[in-house]
Amino acid sequence: MRRDTQVGLEFQGLTGIAAVSFTGGTVDPPPPAPTAFPKLTADPGGLLDMQERIRATLRNVDKIIADNEVA
């Protein structure tokens, strides 16, 4: 983990199990000090994107159900 590593939340599967994700990070910046406890801050926009994807998925499921209602 480097100082420029980004932290986020990922939701997996249909149950939405949350997992912490670490992305990025280059070898140039030094790692955090070994005695320091790094503060992890996730991008608040990431959760909004996830909520929008969930809504879009539910709209698609609703459309499939409505299109196949007669069958």
Residue 20 resides in a domain: yes
Residue 57 resides in a domain: yes
Residue (of 60, 53, 41, 44) closest to 11 by Cα position: 53
Residue 52 resides in a domain: yes
Q: How many CA atoms lie within 13 A of 60 on its CB side?
A: 6
Give the residue numbers spanning the domain of 63: 6-67
Give tens-digit pLDDT for 25-54: 777 777 667 766 767 777 666 666 777 778
Residue 1 resides in a domain: no
φ and ψ at residue 16, rounded to 5 degrees: 75, 35
Share of the chain above pLDDT 90, in %: 3
Residue 34 resides in a domain: yes
Q: Domain count of the chain? A: 1
